[in-house]
Amino acid sequence: MSTELQAELQTAVERRRNFAIISHPDAGKTTLTEKLLLYGGAIHEAGAVKARRSQRHATSDWMAMEQQRGISITSTVLQFEYQNCQINLLDTPGHQDFSEDTYRTLAAADNAVMLIDAAKGLEPQTRKLFEVCKLRSLPIFTFVNKLDRPGRSPLELLDEIEQELGLQTYAVNWPIGMGDLFQGVYDRRSQQIHLFERSQHGSREAIDTAIDLGDPRIESLLEQGLYHQFKDELELIEGAGSELDLEAVHQGKMTPVFFGSAMTNFGVELFLDAFLDYALKPGNHESNQGEIEPTYPEFSGFVFKLQANMDPKHRDRVAFVRVCSGKFEKDMTVNLARTGKTVRLSRPQKLFAQDREVIDEAYPGDVIGLNNPGVFAIGDTIYNGQKLEYEGIPCFSPELFAYLRNPNPSKFKQFRKGVSELREEGAVQIMYSADEAKRDPILAAVGQLQFEVVQFRLQNEYGVETTVEWLPYTVARWVDGGWEALQKVGRIFNTLTVKDSWERPVLLFRNEWNCQQLQSDHPELKLNSIAPVVS
Ligand code: GDP
């Protein structure tokens, strides 16, 4: 192997940090993303993020926009340089765009930033996304946001993370006061206090002055009571709290915690600096040939997401590929593990918030968008050199279910073809009732948008108008041991038994409570919210 290529790959990997933000709507993901981009000097992109916020719209508008622009607005990777590092921020679609793709994006991330609203603590969407991170043992960095507003006590928030997520916490900085009394944060790395001062022009940008802990200005600058409270808390976390253990962070067992206010851009730089030091660089990926190192000289990667163009005039699809090893070059020919065919990757795209720009090369840790003339499926491995296949992407727990009906028998063939192709693409999961008499497919999705996309595309691409009949279930669990294990349990009440596309049994429950009830009645039954990959 050329040592030149080896050195080039090594340098590229050293410089790269890749992460996704996991949060609940309104915690401040868009705001934090904007601020992070400003540090990377990517003002243009920051504007683009803002533009997207104002486009937070009903799904029907989303369709119109997709059509108008002819490109996807739901998934992007923001790339920016900071302190000689290249940072790839994988955008996890939220709000109305929340879908299985949000989970799949985490399959391409090396690190996750868990963004929490200080007043609300852990919220449902964050917990769900956390579960997916946990499955992959991703390092989690916590940013507690909105300290400029009244919130819950920092000790209580750390306790919640420890108790409910089972993560050890290490506070990298510590807040002094909160809300109107917010005075700043103490950075344990530099042992300096960063004073928070609201600027005169509204509350948008705060002034950040760093002073040493022994600085006499502290006593006069900080309100007396708060300073002592802060000293007490600091003593507590320094005495009783654990040391920062980077190995535990990298295994997803300990989370470094930061406090700040994204809106006023306070604490964001401290966070970013520490993140660059602590985050995992692109690492090895498990394959059927063992672990593949990023510096392995042959190109390889996997498809974690497919995006269809909504414009009927341009029915191209984009396959999002996470580069795992080697160097990607424009026009290169690769092998597709699933089919054994070769594919020329002719129009690679780098993905920005809004624009797409053709790229010439990419390295491990990067994401590229490939124009996909229907050859790729979710989880596909592409590679050069020795044949290898990465692990694939699991099915994530759907929460919305509906029968999909085609009222027009003459369209039966198109309907069947459409449903099957959309499923393969990963637009939605398809299940069938275990009761053979009920033949209509059941759409199973994580977000409402997925249903609308499926119906829209069936009509536009396959000429089939469909109707949906909602089912009253919100929880899906795959059964370990399959049909056999299920049979042993006998009749189960308050559930619907369905089978997934691989004929595996899935139990649908009306709510979490019903699911827990079954678990306590039958502790021998092992239920999974995420389905293992079918190889
Ligand atoms: P997203 O839904 O997670 O993308 O959240 P946004 O970034 O859109 O923020 C939701 C709301 O919280 C907006 O009104 C923001 O201005 C506000 N917000 C975000 N960060 C902060 C912060 O640090 N302090 C305060 N007071 N408000 C914030």
Asked if residue 159 has pLDDT above 70, the reply is yes
SS3 20: strand
Residue appearing with tokens 């073809």: 417
Closest ligand 1 atom to 53 CA? 8
Asked if residue 71 has pLDDT above 50, the reply is no
For the segment 235-254, the average pLDDT, to the nearest whole number, is 92
Is 71 or 281 the better-scoring residue by pLDDT? 281
Q: What is the pLDDT of residues 296-322, one digit of tens each?
A: 999 999 999 887 765 555 566 788 899
For the segment 265-291, the average pLDDT, to the nearest whole number, is 96
**Ligand 1 pocket, Cβ-based, cut-off 6 angstroms:** 23, 25-31, 53, 145-146, 148-149, 261-263
Instruction: Quote the pLDDT of residue 13.
Output: 97
For the segment 182-200, the average pLDDT, to the nearest whole number, is 88
For the segment 12-18, the average pLDDT, to the nearest whole number, is 96
Residue 145 assigned to a binding site: yes
Is 404 or 394 the better-scoring residue by pLDDT? 404
- Give residues with Cβ within 8 angstroms of 154, minimum separation 6: 118, 144, 171, 174, 175, 233, 259
Instruction: Quote the pLDDT of residue 349.
Output: 57
Domain 286-383 sits in which CATH superfamily? P-loop containing nucleotide triphosphate hydrolases (3.40.50.300)
Phi, psi for 210 (deg, rounded to 5): -100, 130
From 22, 24, 29, 31, mutation site for ligand 1 pocket: most ligand atoms within 8 A of C-beta: 31
Tell me how far CA of residue 151 lies from CA of 24, 126, 171, 175, 346, in angstroms: 16, 18, 17, 11, 51
Fold classified for 400-528: Alpha-Beta Plaits (3.30.70)
Instruction: Quote the pLDDT of residue 347.
Output: 64
Tell me how far CA of residue 46 lies from CA of 84, 85, 424, in angstroms: 19, 18, 34
Write out the E strands in 420-521: 429-433, 442-445, 467-470, 475-479, 495-499, 505-509
Instruction: Quote the pLDDT of residue 297.
Output: 96
Q: In the chain, where does the domain assigned CATH 3.30.70.3280 lie?
A: 400-528
User: How far is residue 63's CA from residue 61's CA, in Å, rounded to a whole number?
Assistant: 5
Dihedral angle over CA of 253, 255, 256, 260, nearest 10: 180
Instruction: Quote the pLDDT of residue 39.
Output: 80
* Cα–ligand 1 centroid distance for 145 (angstroms): 8
Instruction: Quote the pLDDT of residue 315.
Output: 61
What count of residues does the chain have? 535
Instruction: Quote the pLDDT of residue 109.
Output: 96
User: How far is residue 159's CA from residue 116's CA, in Å, rounded to a whole number?
Assistant: 14
Residue appearing with tokens 């956390």: 130
For the segment 232-254, the average pLDDT, to the nearest whole number, is 92
DSSP 425: H
- SS3 per residue for 493-533: CCEEEEECCCCCEEEEECCHHHHHHHHHHCCCCCEECCECC
SS3 349: strand
Instruction: Quote the pLDDT of residue 354.
Output: 39
User: How far is residue 168's CA from residue 166's CA, in Å, rounded to a whole number?
Assistant: 7
Instruction: Quote the pLDDT of residue 10.
Output: 96
For the chain, count helices (H), then strands (E). 15, 31
Instruction: Quote the pLDDT of residue 46.
Output: 39
* 8 Å CB contact between 192 and 208: no
Instruction: Quote the pLDDT of residue 358.
Output: 56
Write out the E strands in 311-399: 317-325, 328-329, 333-336, 342-344, 348-351, 356-358, 361-362, 367-371, 381-383
Is 353 or 78 the better-scoring residue by pLDDT? 78
Residue 169 assigned to a binding site: no
From 24, 26, 37, mutation site for ligand 1 pocket: most ligand atoms within 8 A of C-beta: 26
* Mean pLDDT over the full length of the chain: 86
The pair of structure tokens assigned to 264 is 């006023």
Asked if residue 351 has pLDDT above 80, the reply is no
> Residue 156's closest CA among 115, 118, 112, 114?
118
User: How far is residue 167's CA from residue 252's CA, in Å, rounded to a whole number?
Assistant: 8
This prediction has a pTM of 0.89
Nearest CA to ligand 1 atom 9: 28
Q: 16-26+84-281: what CATH class?
A: alpha beta
- Give residues with Cβ within 8 angstroms of 305, minimum separation 6: 75, 101, 104, 105, 108, 319, 320, 378, 426
Quick one: which H or E segment has residue 146?
none
From 258, 263, 266, mutation site for ligand 1 pocket: most ligand atoms within 8 A of C-beta: 263
Question: Tell me, what's the ipTM?
Answer: 0.99
> Residue 165's closest CA among 119, 129, 111, 136?
129
Phi, psi for 288 (deg, rounded to 5): -70, -5
Q: What is the pLDDT of residues 20-70, one digit of tens each?
A: 999 999 999 989 988 888 887 654 443 444 444 444 433 334 444 444 433
Residue 148 assigned to a binding site: yes
Residue appearing with tokens 């190109």: 299
User: How far is residue 464's CA from residue 384's CA, in Å, rounded to a whole number?
Assistant: 40
Instruction: Quote the pLDDT of residue 60.
Output: 38
> Residue 262's closest CA among 42, 484, 457, 38?
38
Q: What angle do CA 247, 253, 259 make, to 5 degrees?
A: 95
Strand partners, 24: none
What's the pLDDT band for 392 if we cut at 50, 70, 90? confident
Nearest CA to ligand 1 atom 7: 28
Q: In the chain, where does the domain assigned CATH 3.40.50.300 lie?
A: 16-26+84-281, 286-383
Quick one: which H or E segment has residue 194?
strand 192-198
Nearest CA to ligand 1 atom 11: 26
For the segment 368-389, the average pLDDT, to the nearest whole number, is 89
Residue 384 assigned to a binding site: no
Asked if residue 120 has pLDDT above 80, the reply is yes
Instruction: Quote the pLDDT of residue 311.
Output: 53
* 8 Å CB contact between 350 and 79: yes
Residue appearing with tokens 């090893």: 325
Instruction: Quote the pLDDT of residue 196.
Output: 87
Is 352 or 279 the better-scoring residue by pLDDT? 279
Residue 23 assigned to a binding site: yes
The pair of structure tokens assigned to 462 is 């396959």
